[in-house]
Structure 1
Amino acid sequence: MSVRRLESMLPFLSRDLAIDLGTAGTRIHVRGRGIMLNEPSLVAVDPDTGQIVAFGAEATKTTGMVTVRPVRNGVIVEPDAARRMLRHFVHKVHGHPFARPRMTIAVPGGITSIERKVALEAAYEAQARQITFMEQPLAAALGAGLELADPIAAIVVDVGRGTTDVAAVSMGRAVAVRSMRTGGEAMDSAIKLEVRRAYGVVIDDRTAESLKQQLGVACEPLAGCRMEVSGAHPRHGAPMYATVSAECVYEAIDPAVRAIVEAVREVIESCSPEIAADVARRGLLLTGGGARLSGLPRRLRRDLGIPVARVDTPEHTVALGLGLWAARN
């Protein structure tokens, strides 16, 4: 087969990829096949040589290595590591060695031109033939089952690990948007600080995440519930233990929850009366991994007085929406 003939066939050999490159994890939806990759957005680095030795799930299994998150607050902060990680992930799901796929990539609502350029370079490094960016709230809306051409407006709240995007969606566009660089990661950091303040113990990110999952509630603390954790002394690093109360976790995460509530309130108040009336009737859709925080739908219903529904698989909503969009365009 001639080179020219092979080049003409490459677009047909490739599959469109929809990529949710998140702070916590990366999900890749392959056209016609669904979500084919769901791995942590992590790279493992050898502390002696500085070389990257593993990506994603494999990075969590390495010993003696330093793990790095190339994506923070929904944007790339370690460009070289992010490029190599994305290329590795794309290679895992895209079988043909020569074909260059089209890619649709989710970006936060408040992304800057510089951050967008870094994402563009990472995608081209991963052998993209064509790149389309889609704002996360619109992708989440589509993945949650909303038709973008629907004239009846709804609000989508996508609570990720690094960012929370709130958007009123109507007729295929976000008519009002509020993007915050706060999410599950900010809650974990607040838990770490509060545990240190209240118990004098330094805990790691994984322990903070476990406390949030086991004791974290958006509405009110679980009375009498406690969890024993291990950590270190803040000065000399000796092992220490503490029995952390649900009240402590609630105090830590409540400011982030209130910020989400206020962001939704601001979006509603910035809408026209007609769209605000639609939202009051249709309500709010919760997506993103942070939407799993216990009691968050109830807190939003209580404080805002509108219907709230959490999608069945909130972590996958953006990737599914991107896949639907790519398939239609």
Structure 2
Amino acid sequence: MPYFRKNLAIDLGTASVLVYVRGKGVVLNEPSVVAMDTFSKNILAVGSQAKKMLGRTPGNIVATRPMKDGVIANFNATEKMLKYFIQKATGRTMVRPNVIICVPSQITQVQKRAVLQASRNAGANKTYLIEEPLAAAIGSGVDIADPGGNMIIDIGGGTTDVAVIALGGIVINRSIKVAGDECDEAIADYIRKKFNMLIGERTAEDIKINIGNAMPNELDDKLYEVRGRNLINGLPMHVFVTSTDISEALEKPLDNIVDAVHYVLDKTPPELAADLFERGALMTGGGSLIPGLDRRIEDRIGISVRLADGPVSAVVKGTGKSLQWINKLDSDDSSYSEARRRALEERERLRRR
């Protein structure tokens, strides 16, 4: 039976879930949204179908994102969502697959156990974890075993992970809860304050994609029509916003991301810092697609910053490539003893020194 067992790699993100099947590549890329009936507690829709319901559901149906800031916020919904994606990726089979899930680099042990438990309940045979910066580096073609340093800036939906990698491990890292979702919230808040208009998260995301820019000095001032609800009289309304408006709205979250990159570089050992000056930094994740963000970071830290090929799928591809050494990753296998758990905690403590 083990010969028929499939191995899956899952990027369990705040904004979207990507699934990689060995031999097939990325087979699923859907929003991490679940629609649930509050009366019966039944799951009505998952992924793309559920995202269409955001902000448009009747009172008995709630469409939510079960992941927040890169970790599980709603355990039951996450479990059902994982079960849906695993079954969709594997098809009808009696053999439970092995699963690798990538997690933020500074996730706590409690949060790790929640991911492992949800995966097991969703139908996984064994679940393994890998840190997102490592997965992003592997997926971008970086040789993580190289003694020279490589900086990875992974900007997802809920978290931004910045790490310096050398000799197959993370030397210094920082994970902050500021990423794509925080940018959407900043845009919605800016429009609420300036135009007295309320918009939803989908509208804010559309604005960011269409006219968002991280470099206000390089803007061709574009106009974009935004529709929403007037906060004063409660009626529908529309306004035209400019690229300058959105650049101003994104100022604070983008500054936080740049500060995190600067912090990691400041704490990097001198020998590795010399490597980074030569090699530059690599950006991955959907949040890295904001125009001008690479140049904004480059202006601050003084080393070149480039965007990875296929930044959205880099993490899940790297997680998929790690299927080759699946047995070397941390798993939820019940045969692991208390001594093994203490050894992992000690290794984590030493790594963070």
Q: Report the TM-score, using the length of structure 1 for normalisation.
A: 0.93
Contact 2:36 2:42 in 1 (8 A): yes
Q: Deviations over 1:106-126 (max 9, x none)?
A: 011121222111111111012
**CA shift for structure 1 position 236:** 4.2
Please tell me whether residue 133 in structure 1 is matched to residue 124 in structure 2.
no
**CA shift for structure 1 position 61:** 4.5
| Paired residue type of 1:102 | N
Please tell me whether residue 243 in structure 1 is matched to residue 240 in structure 2.
yes
Aligned partner of 1:5 in structure 2 is none
Q: Match for 1:162 among 155, 158, 169?
A: 158
Q: Counterparts of 2:102 and 2:30 in 1: how far apart (Å)?
A: 16
Aligned partner of 1:19 in structure 2 is 10
Local SS of the residue matching 1:327: helix
Contact 1:17 1:30 in 2 (8 A): yes
Local SS of the residue matching 1:227: strand
**CA shift for structure 1 position 224:** 3.0
> How many residue pairs get matched?
320
Q: Match for 1:106 among 97, 102, 105?
A: 102
Q: Counterparts of 2:198 and 2:84 in 1: how far apart (Å)?
A: 34
**CA shift for structure 1 position 223:** 4.5
Q: How do 1:172-191 and structure 2 match up within 5 A?
A: 172-191=168-187
Aligned partner of 1:281 in structure 2 is 278
Aligned partner of 1:6 in structure 2 is none
| Paired residue type of 2:255 | R
Aligned partner of 2:321 in structure 1 is 324
Q: Counterparts of 1:224 and 1:295 in 2: how far apart (Å)?
A: 14
Q: Counterparts of 1:71 and 1:142 in 2: how far apart (Å)?
A: 24
Q: Unaligned regions of 5+ residues in structure 2, if any? A: 327-353
Q: How do 1:1-12 and structure 2 match up within 5 A?
A: 9=1, 11-12=2-3
| Paired residue type of 1:76 | I
Please tell me whether residue 298 in structure 1 is matched to residue 295 in structure 2.
yes
Local SS of the residue matching 2:238: strand
Q: Match for 1:264 among 237, 261, 267?
A: 261
Q: Match for 1:94 among 71, 90, 93?
A: 90
Contact 2:160 2:176 in 1 (8 A): yes
User: Which moved further from structure 2: 265-274 or 234-243?
Assistant: 234-243
| Paired residue type of 1:51 | N
Contact 1:14 1:94 in 2 (8 A): no
| Paired residue type of 1:317 | A
Q: Counterparts of 2:38 and 2:238 in 1: how far apart (Å)?
A: 29
Q: Deviations over 1:159-213 (max 9, x none)?
A: 0010000000111011000000110000000111111111111111111111111
**CA shift for structure 1 position 137:** 0.6
Contact 1:166 1:263 in 2 (8 A): yes
**CA shift for structure 1 position 35:** 0.9
Q: Deviations over 1:24-55 (max 9, x none)?
A: 11011111211111111011123554432111
Contact 1:109 1:178 in 2 (8 A): yes
Supply the RMSD in Å over aligned alpha carbons.
1.5
Please tell me whether residue 150 in structure 1 is matched to residue 146 in structure 2.
yes
Q: Counterparts of 1:196 and 1:155 in 2: how far apart (Å)?
A: 37
Q: Report the TM-score, using the length of structure 2 for normalisation.
A: 0.87
Q: Counterparts of 1:261 and 1:61 in 2: how far apart (Å)?
A: 33
Q: Match for 1:122 among 112, 118, 121?
A: 118
**CA shift for structure 1 position 157:** 0.3
User: Which moved further from structure 2: 113-122 or 83-92?
Assistant: 113-122
**CA shift for structure 1 position 280:** 0.7
Q: Percent identity?
A: 39
Contact 1:18 1:319 in 2 (8 A): yes
Runs of 4+ residues deviating >6 angstroms: none
Contact 1:13 1:96 in 2 (8 A): no
**CA shift for structure 1 position 327:** 1.9
User: Which moved further from structure 2: 281-290 or 107-116?
Assistant: 107-116
Contact 1:166 1:177 in 2 (8 A): yes
Local SS of the residue matching 1:103: strand
Q: Counterparts of 1:136 and 1:235 in 2: how far apart (Å)?
A: 44
